[in-house]
Amino acid sequence: MPQAAIKATGLSKWFGEGATRTFAVREVGFEASFGEILYIVGPSGSGKTTLLSVISGILRPNAGSVSIEGTDIWALSDNAIAEFRLKRIGFVFQDFHLFPRLTTAENVAIPLILKKRDWDESIAEAKKYLDIVGLKNRADLPPVKLSGGEQQRVAIARAIVSQPDILIMDEPTASLDGDTGRNIVGFVRNQILNDKRCIVIVTHDARITEFADRILMMEDGRLKSIENGRSHEE
């Protein structure tokens, strides 16, 4: 049986103590495989962002474990987790979080530079990935000169430039209009997903569920259901 890309077991995360303790995530467990797009959906406050943070090595859970390709990430030191994220996980943030004072290529090259790769080599590599997302001719522009959809593509290029196994996307369509959002996620499905990569997307955008393999429904911090996405119906 192939190893799970992500295996979450009994995850709980709460904030506050005693009478003020509030559960954001309560006893959640699931597995995600390589070659699939997993959606985490649910209403605001259902715990999907907290769950995303816990499984991506950003927020330490109070209980449970997260195993990525067999590595229990929360057993690692803080620095080792940061190193693990840098090498194995790519992030696409809701607001892109591109540096407006750097060029598009420099933004994309950041993970390589953090990995201490040579500057020129990193920029050259970044330009290849900009080509993949269709923005080769925008390499020397600052992100503020790009449209929202283009900025999202830059963020995706930055997330995949170091060839991570896991791609985490937080509300990738929230800052985009309907068509652009669909195009972006369709592009991710068709161009970025491969059988060595697992993509986890947090969203409450019902228009893009057609690109999901499976959908985790969250409610009040609990995993309400796991359903197959519409891509399975095709």
Partner 1 sequence: MRGILRIAYKLLVNDGSKFAALLVGITFAVFLMVQMTSLFAGVLNRASATVINVGASMWVMDPGVQTVANSIPMPDYVLDAVRSAEGVKYAVPLYSGNGLVKLADGTYQAVNILGLDDSSLFGRPALVQGSIQDIYAENGFIVVQDSEFHKLENPRIGTEFEINNHRGVMVGIAQVATSGLFGVPTLYTTYSRALQYVPQTNFSISYILVEPKSAAEVAGIKRSVAALGYVALTKDEFMAQISTFYKYQTGLGINLFLMTVMSFVVGLSISGQTFYTFVLENLEKFGALKAIGAKGHELVRMILFQALFTAMTGYGIGVGICSLMIALAKLKVPDYAAMITFTNLALAFFMVLVIAGISSYVGVRKVLRIEPFDIFRG
Residues in touch with partner 1 (CB under 8 A): 49-50, 52-53, 56, 58-59, 79, 82-87, 89, 91, 93-95, 97, 99, 101-102, 106, 110-111, 113-114, 116-119, 122, 158, 170
- Of the pair 145, 232, the CB lying nearest partner 1 is at 145
- Of the pair 15, 232, the CB lying nearest partner 1 is at 15
**Per-residue H/E/C for the chain:** CCCCCEEEEEEEEEECCHHHCEEEEEEEEEEECCCCEEEEECCCCCCHHHHHHHHCCCCCCCEEEEEECCEEHHHCCHHHHHHHHHHHEEEECCCCCCCCCCCHHHHHHHHHHHCCCCHHHHHHHHHHHHHHCCCHHHCCCCHHHCCHHHHHHHHHHHHHCCCCCEEEEECCCCCCCHHHHHHHHHHHHHHHCCCCCEEEEECCCHHHHHHCCEEEEEECCEEEEEEECHHHCC
- Of the pair 174, 183, the CB lying nearest partner 1 is at 174
The rounded distance, in Å, linking the Cα atoms of 64 and 224 is 18
Q: Minimum distance from CB of 144 to partner 1 (Å)?
A: 11
- Of the pair 2, 100, the CB lying nearest partner 1 is at 100
- Of the pair 55, 188, the CB lying nearest partner 1 is at 55
Q: Minimum distance from CB of 109 to partner 1 (Å)?
A: 8
Q: Minimum distance from CB of 95 to partner 1 (Å)?
A: 7
- Of the pair 79, 190, the CB lying nearest partner 1 is at 79
Q: Minimum distance from CB of 223 to partner 1 (Å)?
A: 19
Q: Minimum distance from CB of 138 to partner 1 (Å)?
A: 17
Q: Minimum distance from CB of 232 to partner 1 (Å)?
A: 28
Is residue 223 within 8 A of residue 31, CB to CB? The reply is no
Which residue(s) pair with 72 in the sheet?
67
